[in-house]
């Protein structure tokens, strides 16, 4: 009787394991357990969901296997994402996993919210609103026009008004500062990250400002980063050096003609060594600089929203790590 029970349980576990292999194309039991965990959170392959912006202290970057760590959140929770100290913005993440239940792509919409004051005419127009969260845009005459939350989160600018117990408790403007998309590919058997791409889009998502592409070795360690501009020209290539090297990476910068202009040796505890090159690749001079950031500037805020008066009496509750709601 006991032997039959043990045999039955063993066969059942083996069946679950094999089904996990089929689902995830992985032979790693830990990956199968992770994929089953993701399924129990209500996440389905190729179905976008709102992802929390919370993260663990010291765990800012996703692990190499890149499974969602938390259950999906509601649109209302996503819109109410906390204000972060390390990047003074709030962001909405719309994420999709692939058939292997690992993150396939993620859209990030970053905003810089500010508490504002409205003029008397604008406040009068809010008298009839019910308790709850309300969303508006400004028309050409600076009058408030209502929009849905689904519309608001995709707009370059919107205003959020919160009313509780018959009283307006907060008014915010939420200008969009950047849109970028992350794309991931993984190795079929190990499930480790193989390629990563990050694309910065224009405010209407119709054109690309810049893109970053990286490749990883079989152990999941990054080999290089390539950054391209809006015309798909390579503007930088960073190669990661082996552990123990004097410099952890070397970054080569290129001009619009594809010529090398700089080779930067990136250090950890000291300033970077920057070799400035002429057209023939000869070193003109060497300087020692801090880290050079290559990225896209924040979007310009619409002038009609810039003119709104800031409410200096209200401050955001800045969050560094975990947030219980989002």
Number of Cα atoms under 13 Å in the Cβ half of residue 263: 13
Per-residue pLDDT at 203: 94
Provide the token pair at 175.
């200008």
Per-residue pLDDT at 65: 73
Per-residue pLDDT at 324: 37
Residues of the chain with pLDDT under 70: 1-30, 55-64, 85-87, 291-295, 320-326
Q: If you count them, how many residues does the chain have?
A: 326
Per-residue pLDDT at 22: 47
Per-residue pLDDT at 323: 42
Any bridge partners for residue 208, and if so which? 201
- Distance of alpha carbon 184 from alpha carbon 194, whole angstroms: 8
Provide the token pair at 304.
């009609």
**Please, are residues 137 and 158 in contact by the beta-carbon 8 Å criterion?**
yes
User: Among 108, 100, 109, 107, which residue's Cα sits nearest to residue 46?
Assistant: 100
Backbone φ/ψ region at 14: left (φ over 0), alpha (ψ -120 to 50), beta: alpha
Per-residue pLDDT at 249: 95
Per-residue pLDDT at 13: 42
């Amino acid at each position: 009787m006991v032997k039959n029970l043990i045999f039955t349980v063993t066969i059942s576990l083996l069946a679950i394991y094999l089904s996990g292999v089929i689902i995830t194309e992985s032979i790693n039991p830990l990956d199968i357990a992770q994929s089953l965990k993701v399924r129990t959170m209500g996440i389905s392959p190729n179905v976008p969901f709102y992802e929390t912006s919370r993260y663990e202290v010291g765990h800012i970057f996703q692990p190499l296997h890149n499974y969602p760590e938390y259950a999906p959140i509601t649109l209302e929770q996503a819109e109410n994402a906390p204000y972060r100290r390390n990047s003074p913005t709030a962001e909405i993440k719309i994420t999709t996993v692939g058939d292997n239940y690992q993150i396939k792509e993620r859209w990030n919409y970053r905003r810089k919210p500010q508490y504002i004051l409205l003029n008397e005419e604008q406040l009068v127009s809010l008298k009839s609103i019910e308790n709850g969260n309300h969303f508006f845009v400004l028309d050409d005459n600076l009058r408030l026009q209502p929009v849905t939350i689904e519309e608001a989160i995709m707009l370059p600018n919107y205003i959020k008004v919160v009313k509780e117990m018959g009283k307006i408790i907060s008014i915010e403007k939420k200008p969009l500062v950047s849109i970028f998309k992350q794309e991931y590919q993984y190795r079929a058997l190990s499930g480790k990250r193989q390629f990563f791409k990050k694309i910065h889009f224009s405010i209407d998502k119709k054109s690309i400002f810049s893109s970053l592409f990286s490749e990883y070795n079989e152990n999941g360690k990054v080999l290089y980063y390539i950054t391209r501009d809006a015309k798909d020209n390579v503007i930088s290539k960073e190669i990661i050096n082996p552990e123990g090297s004097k410099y952890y990476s070397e970054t080569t910068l290129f001009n619009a003609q594809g010529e090398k202009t700089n080779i930067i040796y990136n250090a950890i505890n000291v300033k970077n060594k920057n070799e400035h090159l002429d057209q023939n690749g000869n070193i003109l001079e060497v300087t020692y600089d801090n880290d050079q950031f290559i990225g896209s500037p924040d979007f310009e805020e619409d002038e009609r929203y810039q003119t709104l008066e800031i409410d200096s009496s209200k401050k955001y509750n800045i969050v560094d790590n975990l947030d219980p709601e989002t």
